[in-house]
Amino acid sequence: MDAICLIAAPRTGTNHLCEVLKNFEDLASFLELFENDGAHGTDPETWPLLRRLTGVDFANHRDRRLIAYTRENPSGWLDAVEAAAKAQGKRVMSFKLFRHNLPVETIEREIMPRTGVRVMMVVRRQIDSYVSWRKAVELGKWQDVDTTGIRLTLDPDSFAEWLDAQERWYDHWRNYLNRRFLPCPVLRYESDIDQQPAEAVLRRFAGAAAQLGITLKVPGAIATRGLQRQDRARNIGDKVRNWSEFSREVFKRGLEKRAFGYPS
């Protein structure tokens, strides 16, 4: 089975994207299958099959026994998820990888060499991704919550450290693919995901998938239009209490191009 691995980061719009991708008839859209707090995106209808294939009698996707299995045997877990997708009549699946999910050495050994695995990246303007991430961390919630009224106080040192880690993650996989002469389409949050009609998101994703040699037909009828935007504030100054001081420090350190650009 072909599998699209979304190399991404938290708060880049991937939850919304994955929800919209459920409209593809041939694609099984999963979330973070290797997250620390659960194997997200698996359908409870497939759990009996996944229990049998993994040998883990887990209660739900947050069961610690299942989480341990996904980390100890990533390839075996993907084998099981692929079988579950096939049982649902799918011929393609997608899943996300964030930098904290698994060690890069494990990903290189257990996931990237799998037959049919292709890579697509999802990026967002880095300062916006950071602010959104910080809001979620402070709330302790990542979905189905309005964060518009929250104003943050940002620390330049913490931001610079986060920026370095973020860029190392994307750089590693960009270089990994370049060395192997493999394509790597990039979806941008601002132009390809955020506030776009579901039809447009699906067309863009199908075009990116075509670059990977995967054909997906955009459906005529849309069953789900994705998730609601959590933060309606548009001006970053309305999101950050100390924006003037923080932005001055960003420019003083020469971080402005990186902060207001994409991982490169």
**Into how many domains does the chain fold?**
1
Residue 255 resides in a domain: yes
Residue 31 resides in a domain: no
Mean pLDDT of the chain: 93
Residue 185 resides in a domain: yes
Structure confidence by residue, pLDDT tens digits, 230-241: 666 678 888 899
Please identify every stretch of the chain with a pLDDT value under 50, giving residue numbers as ranges. Answer: none
The pLDDT, as a whole number, for residue 231 is: 64
Residue 152's CATH number: 3.40.50
The pLDDT, as a whole number, for residue 138 is: 83
* Core vs surface per residue 182-213: b (16+ CB within 10 A) or e: eebbebbbeebbbebebeebbebbbebbeebe
Residue 61 resides in a domain: no
Question: In which domain, by residue range, is 150 found?
Answer: 2-26+91-259
The pLDDT, as a whole number, for residue 59 is: 96
The pLDDT, as a whole number, for residue 226 is: 81
Residue 154 resides in a domain: yes
Residue 249 resides in a domain: yes
Tokens 């590693």 belong to residue: 172
The pLDDT, as a whole number, for residue 147 is: 76
Residue 63 resides in a domain: no
- In the numeric block, which tokens belong to residue 34? 């290797």
The pLDDT, as a whole number, for residue 117 is: 97
pTM for the model: 0.93
Residue 38 resides in a domain: no
The pLDDT, as a whole number, for residue 175 is: 97
The pLDDT, as a whole number, for residue 144 is: 67
